[in-house]
Amino acid sequence: AQKITQTQPGMFVQEKEAVTLDCTYDTSDPSYGLFWYKQPSSGEMIFLIYQGSYDQQNATEGRYSLNFQKARKSANLVISASQLGDSAMYFCAMREGYTGTASKLTFGTGTRLQVTL
Amino acid sequence: EPEVTQTPSHQVTQMGQEVILRCVPISNHLYFYWYRQILGQKVEFLVSFYNNEISEKSEIFDDQFSVERPDGSNFTLKIRSTKLEDSAMYFCASSPQSGANVLTFGAGSRLTVL
């Protein structure tokens, strides 16, 4: 079974609209972390947001928020007020285990977001 | 803002040649990693490194691969005898031993094996 599943290979959103990128995960470890990274066409991986399995509140970072539904094992990324510069590939990733150890991340296949005028 | 730097940004090599990819992690980070991304595919973990030794490696990281921290700043990935299927983007990353232990990635080194 896939540990990280991103079911949307591509998404379109109009500028200034909000968009939700889906991510579901599979783990039996009670301690885990969920990450979202952005990969623009230039290729670098840019960290966006993190959610720990024990965090009570959904993470937010500026225009990014993570809709964490633990029982459903989903960690969807919400981008509000989309901008043209948000056009990129978005990867969901998971680290299993305690944060004090090395972060071996398992990545999903990614969602390519295109922001249109 | 501190960053992870990688060199070279792009390397073209012949099959069977040795390649060394270099990385300078963020100075106060304690964990170092190599990941790779074959074109159009997802990012895959290769190896993590802590306290001057490998802490974990994937099935991909076979005897052809090695990592080294030759001094206090550099972290290298060596591929002894490159194969066509080693063509990929190789990302170095580092993370602190605190908080969420978030990985900061470098811009990547694109390796093309001919």
pLDDT of chain A, 117 residues: tens digit per residue: 679 999 999 999 999 999 999 999 999 999 999 999 999 998 899 999 999 999 999 999 999 999 999 999 999 999 999 999 999 999 999 998 876 677 789 999 999 999 999
Q: How much helix, strand and coil, in percent to the nearest 5, is found in chain B?
A: 5, 50, 45
Q: Is A104 touching B (CB cutoff 8 A)?
A: yes
Q: Is B101 touching A (CB cutoff 8 A)?
A: yes
Question: Is the peptide bond preceding residue A40 cis, with omega within 30 degrees of 0?
Answer: no
Cα distance between residue B43 and residue A85, in whole Å = 22
Q: Is B101 helix (H, G, I), strand (E, B) or coil?
A: coil
Asked whether the beta carbons of residue B31 and residue A103 sit closer than 8 angstroms, the reply is: yes
pLDDT at residue number B96: 87
H helices of chain A, where?
A: none
The answer to whether A13 and A82 are in contact (CB under 8 A) is yes
Q: Across residues B27-56, what is the average pLDDT? A: 92
Residues of A with Cβ-Cβ distance to B97 under 8 angstroms:
100
Q: How many CB atoms lie within 10 A of CB A6?
A: 21
The two structure tokens encoding residue B103: 């990985």
pLDDT at residue number A100: 67
Q: Which of B57, B103, B109, B112 to mutate to test the interface with A (most CBs of A within 10 A)?
A: B103
pLDDT at residue number A99: 67
pLDDT at residue number A1: 65
Alpha carbon distances (Å) from B5 to A45, A93, B27, B35, B74: 12, 22, 11, 14, 10
Cα distance between residue B107 and residue B86, in whole Å = 18
Asked whether the beta carbons of residue A45 and residue B31 sit closer than 8 angstroms, the reply is: no
Grade residue B40 by pLDDT with cuts at 50, 70 and 90.
confident
Cα distance between residue A37 and residue A75, in whole Å = 13
Report pLDDT digits (tens) over B70-88: 887 899 999 999 999 999 9
Residue B46 Cα, gap to closest chain A Cα (Å): 9
Cα distance between residue B32 and residue B29, in whole Å = 8
Q: Which residue of A has its CA nearest to B57?
A: A104
Q: Is B18 touching A (CB cutoff 8 A)?
A: no
Q: Across residues B26-45, what is the average pLDDT? A: 92
Asked whether the beta carbons of residue A100 and residue B97 sit closer than 8 angstroms, the reply is: yes
Residues of B with Cβ-Cβ distance to A100 under 8 angstroms:
97, 101
Q: Give me the sign of the Cα torsion angle A12, B43, B55, B5.
A: negative
Residues of A with Cβ-Cβ distance to B93 under 8 angstroms:
45
